[in-house]
Structure formats: C-alpha cells, structure tokens
Structure 1
Amino acid sequence: MRVFVAGATGAVGGLLVPMLVEAGHEVTGTSRSLAGVERIRSLGATGIQADALDAERLRHAVCAAAPEVLIHQLTDLSGADGAANGRIRREGTWNLVEAAKAAQVGRIVAQSIAWAYAPGEGPAEEAVPLDDTAAQPRAGVVSAVRALEETAAEVETAVVLRYGLLYGPGTWYAPGGAFAAALAGDRSARFLGSTLANDAVSSFVHVADAASAALAAVDWPGGPVNIVDNEPAPAHEWLPSLAGALGVPAPGRVAGRQEWERGAVNALARGRGWQPQWSTWRTGFAAQHDMS
C-alpha cells in the first residue's frame, strides 16, 4: 500500500516509518529540513522536504506520491509553544486534508490527544464529548483539537488516534528532557504541562506503542480511538516513579484535580487487536534509559 506520512521525523513518525516499510508498504515521508529528508531515506522510504503550512508545496508532494493512505503525525512542540502547535492542528491539518482531496486519498490516520474530554468521573471512553466548558488556555487547546478532528473527518475514512501523554525517546518525558529539567528547577525549561504530584489522572503511551497503533490503524474503520496504556493514574502515583527513573527529585504530594483531568481507557483499541508493549507506565518509565 502507498502510505504518505506527514511529520515523518517526529517522535512518533520516526518510529512509524520503518514499521511501515517492514510491513511492506511503499512509504513517502515529509520533513521540514534536508537533514530530515536524508533520515527518512535512510529508513527505506522516499523523503520530501515540505512544510505543513506551505499549502501549495504540500499539495504537490501528496499528489506526486499518490498515496492510498495519509498519516498525519504533525506537531510543533519543540519550543513548547501552544499557539504554534494549535496552528499546526488547524492550518496544517486543513492543508493536509485539502492535499488529500486533490490526490483523491480516501483514508487518513490523524494524531489527536486523549485529554480533551469533557469533565466527568472515571477515565473517558471515545463516546464522551470534547470539553466545551473549558476556560483559557485549555479552551484554545480543545478548540484546535476539534478543528483537527472535524477537518480530518472530511476524508472518506478518518481514523483519529487520541494519544495519551507521549513518553520515550524524543519526548518531554525522556531522560534529559523538558520534564526532568522542570522538576530539577530549571526555570528556562520549556514545558507545557504540570509538575504537581496531585490527584489529576493522566493516561500515558510510549512512542513505540503510539507508532504501532498508527501502523494498525491503516486498516481500522473510521472514528476516534484512544491510544493509551492500560493504567490511568493520578499524578501522586506516576510522578514519583517518573522522577526516580529520570534521577531528579519528586515534588511533595498535594491535593486536588480539575474535573477534566480524568485519563482515558483503551478498550476500543484493544478490541481491534492493538496491545501496548508497555502496558503500564510503571515498567515503561524505568525502561526509558535503555531506549534513549
């Protein structure tokens, strides 16, 4: 199958490309840099230099590749700039979908997030609506996620992968990453997240498992799917474990959580045959050193 991966050198995309190649797919991937293009080629795929915000160049790239499936792994998180990442979700997704329409692509697999659900008790399943009650800055995040998912749905079959918090190589939660720096008290660390050991429930997923889900989703029916590990947990449980694995001090426990901080469940993805290699952050965090 001909597969086009937008964002092929990101934390997930860089692992996904060789998985697709090994599975026998003909893969074309994009990067904004020439170095990224060379990296894609070294993985056995065709590399193309393209920016998601350059609509004309992206359209040309997709049409030239004539893919059967388009995989959207675009983000802009390196600078911890929420507005920049929101722009990618809105404008980048729009440009990608317009390119897919021009190339008559009938299937898209798009990266979304699993913490945009409405407030409630217990981890969220996919039937829970997105959060319309949020104040800023969360409202901006949810609005951009909604725009991404609604735009992707304009393609005939759109699988939306709602990833949990990504950890592993190339992420904020990797050894030496932004989370470790923030916990260590580095005020210059750029990190869009919380370092409070409170009652807020999160769901994690290792980047390798996120990539394996994208590979599997090439054949899945359309709609949103939570891609998270098997153990949603409050910060006062997972944060000390992660801090220990990163070799940085853990903050003291505090009480409280926002009602939307509820985590998510992966029953739908598991029902489709996906199983995370790292079924829980308890073992995944400790293994990061060996995979960095």
Structure 2
Amino acid sequence: MTRIFLAGATGVVGRRLVPRLVAGGHAVTALTRRTADVEALRAQGVEAVVGDVFDADSLRAAVVAAGPEVVMQQLTDLAGLDFAANARLRKVGTRNLVDAAQAAGARRFVVQSIAWAYEAGDEPASEGTPLDVDAESERRRGTVDAVRTMEELAATLPEYVVLRYGTLYGPGTWYAPDGLTVEQVRSGQVVANADVSSFLHVDDAAGAAVESLGWPSGAVNVVDDTPAPASEWVPAFARAAGLAGPEPVSAERTGWARGADNSYARKELGWTPQHSSWREGFGSA
C-alpha cells in the first residue's frame, strides 16, 4: 500500500484513476475545490479534502496532514479554453504542490504533462528530444515555458515521473461524442493538414499513472502506437462522430507538430496501451 495525495481527482483522468488506485490497495487522499464532490469521493473509498492549489498555506497543511509517500498531479484548467489559466496552473499550482510535497516528506512526485512541447523535427519525438524552448513567442509563453517550469519543479523531489500524455480522447475529453472537437469539425474549424499528432485514450492515461508509481525517475511519452497527420485522423474522427469530414489540404507541416514515440514506455517500462491506435479507438470511445 502506498499513501498517495492526488490533485485533480475529479478531472478527466482523475475520475478514471481514483478507482484504479483504490483497487490497487493504495490509501488515497483526494483534493477537490468543490465541497459537493466530497461525499462522492469518500464513497469510492478515498479521503477527500477541499482546497485550492493556489492557496499555498492551506494546501501545505492538507498535504502534510495526509502524510503521502507520493503526490500526484492530474490538474488542468481548460474548461473555458483559457490557456493562460492552464499555464498559470502548471507554474504556480505546481510550485505550491511541490513545496507541500517536500514539507510532507513525500518521496515521489508524478505530474501530467504533454507530448507536443518538443522542438521541431522530422520524426516522432523521443524523451531525449529537447523541449521547444526557442519557439516563437506565443507558443513559448502559452505552452512550452509552463511545461518546462512544471517539469523542472517535479524533478526537485527525490523521485519523479513526468507523464507526457498524447492528445486525450474518450469519455469526458474534447474528443468525446459530445466534446468540443465534434463541434469544431461540424463548424469547419478543424483542418485536415499535414500536422502530426499522437493520441491517447483516457483509460490508458489513467493506467499509466498507476504504473508510474513503480517507474524510474524521468519523463515518459505516454502515447498510442500511431502518430498521424491530421489529413488521416480528422476524416476518421469525423466518420466516428457521424459527420462529413473536411477534405485534406496541402500545406507544409508545422515543424513541432511531429507526434511522439512511445518506444521507451513500451520496451523499457513494459507499458502496453489498451487502445493501441486511435484508428480503432475513435470508434469505441
């Protein structure tokens, strides 16, 4: 049994992660901003505390009181498409959570990151590929700087795992049948171009988070086996949603839109995604 403090327990990944942690015999304390979530969390067999990662003092007190061995962050702030708010969460929220974890004597920090902050290149990026720190200012300020800060903070714990998730699809995500991307396809906002993405079913994201409790320190690309250009995945996604997809367009690929390679997770860590490709996954999501 491992004592775990989980921030983001009611999010897209957290909702699927909590039952897996409980089933694994772990003692989980879940952080939520909403008092309305407390009873539902407790009914799943976890302790629940109400708090805010931006309130450093109360967060520290909550984490110290829980006495976790592992602090796990599965937080995002994208409900309003406010990417500045999400960047602030990655920087300030992570700073506060790491400080609290250190105060509590936690040995390991696990954090949700992304697999599309790498620099430009011709092949899917490996974990050894540098982050895109020289990106044009909007991408750097909005994404890469926050990701770099978050990952560097995580690495200050004695043990840490950075889960560089692919684009999440499945229930509760933007790629669900009732998600944002369906509406964007319907309104013609999604372009079927040469930009490459790597996807990940939300169940596989939760599964990897559980497995990360035993992984060595470092970053891990947690993506499916099939990086693909939008000219391939957009029509397939549209068909799965019952829509007429856009026609592929001829345009040069954005350099950083290269996808990610999961060889390390598969071959070295023994991680196997339940949904090995979005090609089948979109239809079953």
Q: TM-score range by the shorter chain?
A: over 0.9
SS of 2:76 mapped into structure 1:
coil
Is 1:197 aligned with 2:192?
yes
Aligned to 1:281: 278
SS of 2:5 mapped into structure 1:
strand
Q: Distance in 1 between matches of 2:243 and 2:97?
A: 40
Counterpart amino acid of residue 258 in structure 2: R
Deviation string, structure 1 residues 179-217 (Cα, Å, up to 9, x no partner)? 11111118xxxxxxx721001110000110000000000
Query: CA, structure 1 residues 84+125, in 2 after alignment: closer, same or farther (shift >3 Å)?
Result: same
Structure-to-structure mapping, 1:72-91, within 5 angstroms: 72-91=73-92
Structure-to-structure mapping, 1:165-176, within 5 angstroms: 165-176=167-178
Is 1:267 aligned with 2:263?
yes
Q: CA deviation at 1:248?
A: 2.6
The one of 214, 235, 239 equivalent to 1:219 is: 214
For the 8 Å contact 1:176–1:246, the answer to whether it is kept is no
Q: CA deviation at 1:247?
A: 2.1
Bigger mean CA deviation after superposition, 27-36 or 279-288: 27-36
SS of 2:64 mapped into structure 1:
helix
Deviation string, structure 1 residues 132-163 (Cα, Å, up to 9, x no partner)? 22113211200000000011111111100000
SS of 1:169 mapped into structure 2:
coil
Q: How many residues end up aligned between the 2 structures?
A: 281
Q: Distance in 2 between matches of 1:265 and 1:50?
A: 36
SS of 2:249 mapped into structure 1:
coil
Q: Distance in 1 between matches of 2:201 and 2:253?
A: 24
Where structure 1 has 5 or more consecutive residues not aligned to the other structure, the ranges are 187-193
Q: Distance in 1 between matches of 2:48 and 2:220?
A: 28
For the 8 Å contact 1:76–1:88, the answer to whether it is kept is yes
Structure-to-structure mapping, 1:106-117, within 5 angstroms: 106-117=107-118
Aligned-residue CA RMSD (Å)? 1.1
For the 8 Å contact 1:159–1:222, the answer to whether it is kept is yes
SS of 1:47 mapped into structure 2:
strand
Q: Distance in 1 between matches of 2:51 and 2:244?
A: 41
Q: Distance in 2 between matches of 1:42 and 1:250?
A: 42
Hey, which bits of structure 1, 4+ residues long, moved more than 6 A? none
Percent identical among aligned pairs is 53
Q: Distance in 1 between matches of 2:231 and 2:43?
A: 42
Aligned to 1:37: 38
TM-score by length of 1: 0.94
Counterpart amino acid of residue 237 in structure 1: E
Q: CA deviation at 1:44?
A: 1.3
The one of 226, 240, 246 equivalent to 2:241 is: 246
Bigger mean CA deviation after superposition, 118-127 or 238-247: 238-247
Q: Distance in 2 between matches of 1:146 and 1:273?
A: 26
Q: Distance in 2 between matches of 1:40 and 1:169?
A: 19
Q: Distance in 2 between matches of 1:257 and 1:196?
A: 12
Structure-to-structure mapping, 1:1-292, within 5 angstroms: 1-140=2-141, 141-185=143-187, 195-255=190-250, 256-270=252-266, 271-288=268-285
